[in-house]
Amino acid sequence: MKYQEARNYINGQFVSCNNKRIDVESPLTGEVISTVPLSTYNDVDDAVKAAKNAFLAWSGMTLKMRSQILYTYRQIVEENVENLAAIIHVENGKTMDEAIAEVRKSIELTEFACSIPQIAVGEVLEVSVGVECRSEYAPLGVVACINPFNFPHMVPHWTVPNALALGNCVVLKPSELTPLTAMKMAEMLKLAGLPDGVFNIVNGAKDVVEAICDHPEIKAVSFVGSTPVAQIVYRRATSNLKRCLALGGAKNHLIVLPDANLDLSASDIAASMCGSAGQRCMAASVMIAVGNVNPVIEKLCAEVSKFIPGTKMPPIISRQSRENLINYINEAEKKGAKLLVDGRKFTNDSTADANGYYLGPTIIDWRGSNAKMPESEVFGPVFEIISAKSVEDAISIQHESPFGNATSAFTQNGAIAKMVAQNASAGMIGINIGVPVPREPFSFGGWNASKFGAGDITGKSSLGFWSQFKKVTSKWAKQEITDWMS
By annotation, the residues acting in catalysis are 281
Neighbours of 331 (CB within 10 A): 12
Of these, 209, 256, 363, 373, which contacts ligand NAD (CB under 6 A)?
A: 209
Applying the rule CB under 6 A, the residues between 327 and 386 that interact with ligand NAD are: 377, 379
| Buried b or exposed e, range 173-198, using 16+ CB within 10 angstroms | bbbbbbbbbbbbbbebbbebebbebb
Residue in 155, 202, 166 with CA at minimum distance from that of residue 6: 202
Q: What are phi and psi of 362, to 5 degrees?
A: -135, 135
Question: Is residue 248 near ligand NAD by the rule CB under 6 A?
Answer: yes
Q: Which stretch binds ligand NAD (CB under 6 A): 142-150, 189-197, 341-349, 417-425?
A: 142-150
CB of 359 to ligand NAD, least distance (A): 16
Residues contacting 140, CB < 8 A, separation 6+ = 168, 219, 220, 243, 466, 467, 468
| Buried b or exposed e, range 274-291, using 16+ CB within 10 angstroms | bbbbbbbbbbbbbbbbbe
Of these, 224, 290, 409, 429, which contacts ligand NAD (CB under 6 A)?
A: 224
Q: Which stretch binds ligand NAD (CB under 6 A): 109-117, 132-140, 248-256, 427-435?
A: 248-256
x-or-dash pattern for ligand NAD, window 100-139, by CB under 6 A? ----------------------------------------
Applying the rule CB under 6 A, the residues between 397 and 456 that interact with ligand NAD are: 405, 446, 450
x-or-dash pattern for ligand NAD, window 257-296, by CB under 6 A? ------------------------x---------------
Q: Which stretch binds ligand NAD (CB under 6 A): 79-87, 125-133, 147-155, 290-298?
A: 147-155
Residue 9 and residue 185: Cα distance in Å, rounded? 11
Q: How far is CA 438 from CA 142, 151, 433, 455, 457, in A?
A: 28, 16, 11, 14, 11
Nearer to ligand NAD, 150 or 168 (CB): 150
Q: Which stretch binds ligand NAD (CB under 6 A): 67-75, 86-94, 204-212, 359-367?
A: 204-212
Helices 41-60 and 206-214, packing angle to 10 deg:
50
CB of 79 to ligand NAD, least distance (A): 27
Question: Is residue 173 near ligand NAD by the rule CB under 6 A?
Answer: yes
Residue 196 and residue 216: Cα distance in Å, rounded? 22
CB of 291 to ligand NAD, least distance (A): 30
Q: How many CA atoms lie within 13 A of 215 on its CB side?
A: 28
Angle at 235 (CA atoms; ends 233, 239), nearest 5 degrees? 115
CB of 17 to ligand NAD, least distance (A): 17
Q: Residue 173: enclosing H or E segment and its boundaries? A: strand 169-173
Nearer to ligand NAD, 55 or 149 (CB): 149
Residue 94 and residue 278: Cα distance in Å, rounded? 11
Question: Is residue 46 near ligand NAD by the rule CB under 6 A?
Answer: no
Question: Is residue 250 near ligand NAD by the rule CB under 6 A?
Answer: yes
* Dihedral sign computed on CA atoms, order 417, 375, 310, 174: positive
Question: Is residue 231 near ligand NAD by the rule CB under 6 A?
Answer: no
Residue 171 and residue 122: Cα distance in Å, rounded? 27
Positions that interact with ligand NAD (CB under 6 A): 146-150, 155, 173, 175-176, 205-206, 209, 224-226, 229, 232, 247-250, 281, 377, 379, 405, 446, 450
